[in-house]
Amino acid sequence: MSKVIKVPAVGESITEVTIGQWFKKDGDTVQMDEVLCELESDKATFELPAEAAGVLRIKAEEGDTIEIGAVICEIEEAGSGVAAAPSGESSSKPAEKETSAKTTGEIKDMVVPTVGESITEVTLANWIKADGDFVKLDEIIAEVDSDKATFELPAEATGILRHVAQEGDTLEIGGMICKIEVMDGEPVAEASSAAASSAPASSSAPSKDSYATGHASPAAAKILSEKGIDSSEVKGTGKDGRITKEDAQAAQKAAPATAKAESKPAQESAPAPVAGSRNERREKMSSLRKTVSRRLVAVKNETAMLTTFNEVNMKPIMDLRSKFKEQFKEKHGVGLGFMSFFTKAVCVALQEWPAVNAKIDGNEIVYNDFCDISIAVSAPKGLVVPVIRNAEALSFDGVEKEVVRLATKARDNKLSIEEMTGGTFTITNGGVFGSMMSTPIINAPQSAILGMHNIVQRPMAVNGEVKILPMMYVALSYDHRIIDGRESVSFLVRVKELLEDPTRLLFGV
């Protein structure tokens, strides 16, 4: 009797998949739930498990593109391969009986939780617990990425974990991510130790070298591809020797290359790409990059965005910082940077021109009497915009302490969703990367964003004399649907006045 295995439905919008790699060969004996091959769709990579034990008969080859529901292979359930299975399985049966005695029969379905009002989908970044692992209630089992932050997913029950989604999959809020076979208590330790002690006598080789040995997870494979490292050069520390995301991140290309050079010097003479070669490579966009791209295009298409420019003489601020920076740091324990001056100047100007601090909600305009300033910070996973709450009420040292706190959490990937939502106005500083002038894109649903740039010594005419001054271009991008030209220009001029005479900030004039 043969078991026909077809391509399963993997998503409502996916109609076909491509066979990426066969882990088993035609004619191999396979066990129930053993992974046979890896399938790739336009959204994610996932594994195909055996639906029965027996002899594998492959019907489609690597690289073939087949439709959902098409036959991919068959398993001959009757044969020598199956008959041999009971002898190998007999040693594990007692252990299974001992552990399954505590199974309640309840299945806990875990779905992607709501992580923020503006977040509709997330990406499964990393499984911390492998499929089939025993997990405890509230134990962290996976890491999930949104376009704003990374957060951990805790187990909602105690039992055996069963993966539904794979690493790299993009899931909607409420989508199924895994299941837990609920158990009353922990598995019997003696059963697992007995199985481990008896395994070497009968099947030590298969336990050390299975289909997962040396195989990279989808997330790990992507990282290795970006580094140009072959999976055969990396030792896996995951279950059954599987290469995990952490293994891929820790892998270094230099060491394997040196080892190869020492062991096989003859290969050094092999043809290598020469200068001027026209090689190219293609990589799929990450789910996070797709989300960011979609939202940036939406802002350009859905807002009437314009940008107005001005220039600021930074000498007064620089002189003030030079005079008081040591005393400031000694008293408050934090440095006096440019961001506090810009934040305070923006807060004053926002209260004078409230339309710049407003947003459109349907057919209404929402005006904010407070200033929640979003600060763009460069983090390992990209640009993030944590929010300084009620910045108008903070002193200079209060702003600086918040900037340091949020920037530190951003670089450690520890920002929460709440810390990155709800801003009313954004400040971005491209000057730290050397930008002289740019047109920043509005951070929707906000209506304006201020762009800072690098400070350059330039000759300027001052009272009929030419002086060399440290100048900065500032740019205000704004939504013309809610902010008129008079308001936008007046706002930027007011910011310029406050920065060129920072004592105005102290007296509120």
What are the pLDDT digits (tens) for 88-144?
A: 444 444 444 444 446 777 888 999 888 766 677 888 888 989 888 888 888 889 888
Using 50, 70 and 90 to split pLDDT, how confident is the model at 206? very low
For residue 50, pLDDT beyond 70: yes
Q: What's the average model confidence in pLDDT over 380-400?
A: 88
Q: What is the CB-side half-sphere exposure of residue 301 using CA atoms within 13 A? A: 6
Please tell me which residue, 106 or 382, carries the higher pLDDT value.
106
For residue 82, pLDDT beyond 60: no
For residue 74, pLDDT beyond 80: yes
Average pLDDT, the chain: 80
User: What residue spans define the domains of the chain?
Assistant: 1-91, 303-507
Lowest-pLDDT choice from 281-290, 386-395, 402-411, 454-463? 281-290
Distance (Å, whole) CA 335 – CA 69: 63
For residue 197, pLDDT beyond 80: no
- The number of residues making up the chain comes to 509
Please tell me which residue, 2 or 330, carries the higher pLDDT value.
330
Name which of 215, 159, 230, 297 is nearest 22 in CA terms. 215
For residue 270, pLDDT beyond 60: no
CA dist 91 → 50, 95, 163, 198, 207 (Å):
22, 8, 26, 7, 13
pLDDT number for residue 375: 92
Distance (Å, whole) CA 290 – CA 293: 5
**CATH classification for the domain delimited by 303-507, as one of 3.40.50.720, 3.30.559.10, 3.30.70.260, 3.40.50.800:** 3.30.559.10
Please give the CATH number for the structural domain made up of 1-91: 2.40.50.100
- Percentage of the chain exceeding pLDDT 70: 78
Please name the residues in contact with 132: beta carbons below 8 A apart, sequence gap of 6 or more: 160, 161, 162, 239
Q: What's the average model confidence in pLDDT over 247-258?
A: 62
pLDDT number for residue 286: 67
Q: What's the average model confidence in pLDDT over 280-301?
A: 78
Q: What's the average model confidence in pLDDT over 471-497?
A: 95
pLDDT number for residue 8: 84
For residue 171, pLDDT beyond 80: yes
- Percentage of the chain exceeding pLDDT 90: 31
Name which of 387, 448, 442, 389 is nearest 420 in CA terms. 387
Please tell me which residue, 206 or 305, carries the higher pLDDT value.
305
Asked if 360 contacts 425 with a C-beta cutoff of 8 angstroms, the reply is no
For residue 202, pLDDT beyond 50: no
Q: Angle at Cα 309 formed by Cα 498 and Cα 307, nearest 5°?
A: 120
Q: What's the average model confidence in pLDDT over 458-466?
A: 91
The encoded tokens of residue 131 equal 């499929």
For residue 351, pLDDT beyond 90: yes
Using 50, 70 and 90 to split pLDDT, how confident is the model at 83? very low
For residue 14, pLDDT beyond 90: no
Q: What's the average model confidence in pLDDT over 366-392?
A: 88
Distance (Å, whole) CA 509 – CA 504: 5
pLDDT number for residue 19: 86
Distance (Å, whole) CA 201 – CA 203: 6
Helices (H), 353-395: none
pLDDT number for residue 457: 94
For residue 211, pLDDT beyond 60: no
For residue 449, pLDDT beyond 60: yes
Distance (Å, whole) CA 81 – CA 24: 14
Distance (Å, whole) CA 339 – CA 104: 58
**One-letter identity of residue 237:** T
**Strand ranges in 314-436 using DSSP code E only, listed in sequence order:** 359-361, 364-366, 373-375, 377-379, 382-384, 387-388, 425-429
Distance (Å, whole) CA 476 – CA 349: 12
Name which of 222, 149, 169, 156 is nearest 382 in CA terms. 149
For residue 233, pLDDT beyond 90: no
pLDDT number for residue 170: 83
Name which of 387, 390, 391 is nearest 417 in CA terms. 387
Please tell me which residue, 120 or 196, carries the higher pLDDT value.
120
For residue 191, pLDDT beyond 70: no
Annotated catalytic residues are 480, 484
**Strand ranges in 34-135 using DSSP code E only, listed in sequence order:** 35-40, 45-49, 54-58, 65-67, 71-76, 103-111, 121-127, 134-135
